[in-house]
Amino acid sequence: MTDYLTDVVVMEDSPVVGSRVGELGEEDLDLDVFQIVRGDRTLSHGLGSERIQSGDVLSVRADQETLQEIIEQGHLQLLPEVMEAATEDDAPLPPGFSPQRHGWESLDAEQSGSSTEDEASSEDTEEDGDETAEETSDEESELTEVVLLPGPWSSRRSGVADFERDHDVRVLAIRRGNEVIRKRFREVRLRAGDVILVQASDQVLDRIARDTNVAISGEDRWEEFDRSKIPIALGILVGALGLAALDVLTLMVSALTGVAAMFFTGILTPEDAYEAIDWEVIFMVAGVIPLGIAVEASGTADVIADLVVSAGVLLPAIAVLRLFYLGTALITEMVSNSASVVLLLPIGVEVAGQLGANPFAFAMAVTFAANTPLLTPVGYQTNLMVYGPGGYKFTDFARVGAPLQLILTVVTTAGITFFWGL
């Protein structure tokens, strides 16, 4: 981002003096002001309505062409050039500029052109202009990467402006796979897996960290857990699994009992449980289950099974099992693993019946294959979570996943045949 983040100084005769920061972005320029250094103050919140003053140092995001254009037209100068001219050529600094704020103690107040009256006038203008900015001026801001997690971002139509408004941050760049979007990204719709470079205060980042739809990169930004309740949570988990494994309770009743125990011990709140539910998957599976029943009841499963059997008439049963495994693995890249199982399980059982093979073997092949979406980043949530932060290409998953999928096809079907027979 070093080519896109720059500090510029507002000169005394600049036509932008008195203009609001938001007006700079209204022009046909890909420019964002994300921070203002004014004297000893740093402003980073509510900048849209802030009026620009002489001597302000604007931290901007812009490409080289845009930066050159605003320097030529707006009487703005790069901060290093202003400081170099002041030290080597004794050029006057604009009123209101604080060289000490930028580590130049050798430049005195007279050279900066600021007097007591100028400072008093500047303070009066600031008080009349925006009290909120003064309250937030002492907050330290930092650049942080935020990852959009799978879930609601798959269906949202949110853009950069919506994200900035909802989370009170300034977006500086977006990384999508191996592509870094720096220009005109306000026209880009956000997706799950995107990594967003934002500027925000510690207080805002703490609030974002509580949002279950995003994750903040950085070692100091991981969520803090109540470690005293970890043994209780593990005990409840082991108990729920043990009751189901020993056939004391059915799996569903045991799981619901564990959830209730989490509520009563205070480990989980109803709000957390509700937010953790992926309602899109619930409704999709609710719609696919009747579809699977219809496929079997209408005879569609028989037709597809006849086609599979006729295509594999010259192949042994183990080869048909492997083709069925591979076909399920490809379908699960496009639909969820639950949906692929519901759709293909009746077909697999019918194929096994016509081949005279073990139906349970084909059911196991469908179950295993439906949970190996290795070929695309959108095949499963965890693929998408690492797609953006890792800077991977879409084809990287296929390059690694395709050989691995072929190995699994052979090894898994061989294991199914060995343990359950064919």
pLDDT score, position 32: 76
Instruction: Report all structural domains of the chain as residue ranges with CATH numbers, in order of start.
Output: 5-135 (3.30.70.1450), 141-221 (3.30.70.1450), 227-276 (no CATH), 279-420 (no CATH)
- Check pLDDT > 70 for residue 162: yes
pLDDT of residue 157: 63
- What average pLDDT does this structure show over 370-388? 81
pLDDT confidence of residue 85: 72
How sure is the predictor about 394, in pLDDT bands with cuts at 50, 70 and 90? confident
At 236 the pLDDT is 93
Average pLDDT, the chain: 76
Residue 100's pLDDT band (boundaries 50, 70, 90)? low
Q: Which two tokens stand for residue 142?
A: 């930092």
Question: pLDDT grade, residue 223 (50/70/90)?
Answer: low
User: Does the structure show a pLDDT above 60 at 189?
Assistant: yes
Question: Does residue 379 sit in helix, strand or coil?
Answer: coil
Q: Are 192 and 177 in contact (CB under 8 A)?
A: no
DSSP class per residue in 193-229: T-EEEEEEEHHHHHHHHT-TTEEE-SGGGSPP--GGG
Q: pLDDT at position 417, please?
A: 92
Burial (CB count <10 Å: 0-12, 13-18, 19+), residue 104? middle
pLDDT-based confidence at 405, cuts 50/70/90?
very high
Q: Which two tokens stand for residue 148?
A: 């959009």
Pair 52, 18: CB distance under 8 Å: yes
Cα gap 215→223, rounded to integer Å: 9
Task: Give the separation between CA 351 and CA 384, rounded to whole angstroms.
Answer: 34
Summarised one tens digit per residue, pLDDT across range 110-145 is 444 443 344 444 444 444 444 444 444 445 567 788
Is pLDDT of 368 > 90?
yes
Phi, psi of 237 (to 5 degrees): -60, -50
Q: Is the pLDDT of residue 367 over 80?
A: yes
Closest CA to 15 of 49, 52, 59, 47: 52
When pLDDT is averaged across residues 8-32 and rounded to a whole number, the result is: 74
Other residues' Cβ atoms within 10 Å of the Cβ of residue 363: 19
Contacts of 97 (CB under 8 A, 6+ apart): 9, 54, 55, 57, 82, 112, 113, 114
State pLDDT tens for residues 278-314: 676 677 667 767 776 776 677 776 777 777 777 666 7
Residue 253 has pLDDT above 60, yes or no: yes
> And the tokens for 302?
């028989």
pLDDT tier for residue 182 given thresholds of 50, 70 and 90: low
Quote the CA–CA distance of 206 and 222 in Å, as a whole number: 10
Closest CA to 349 of 371, 367, 335: 367
Nearest CA among 286, 298, 417, 314 for reference residue 347: 298
3 pLDDT band, cuts 50/70/90, is: low
- Residue 177: C-alpha distances to residues 180, 377, 378 (Å): 8, 10, 12
Do residues 312 and 320 lie in contact, with contact meaning Cβ atoms separated by under 8 Å? yes
* Percent of the chain topping pLDDT 90: 12
Does residue 219 surpass a pLDDT of 60?
no
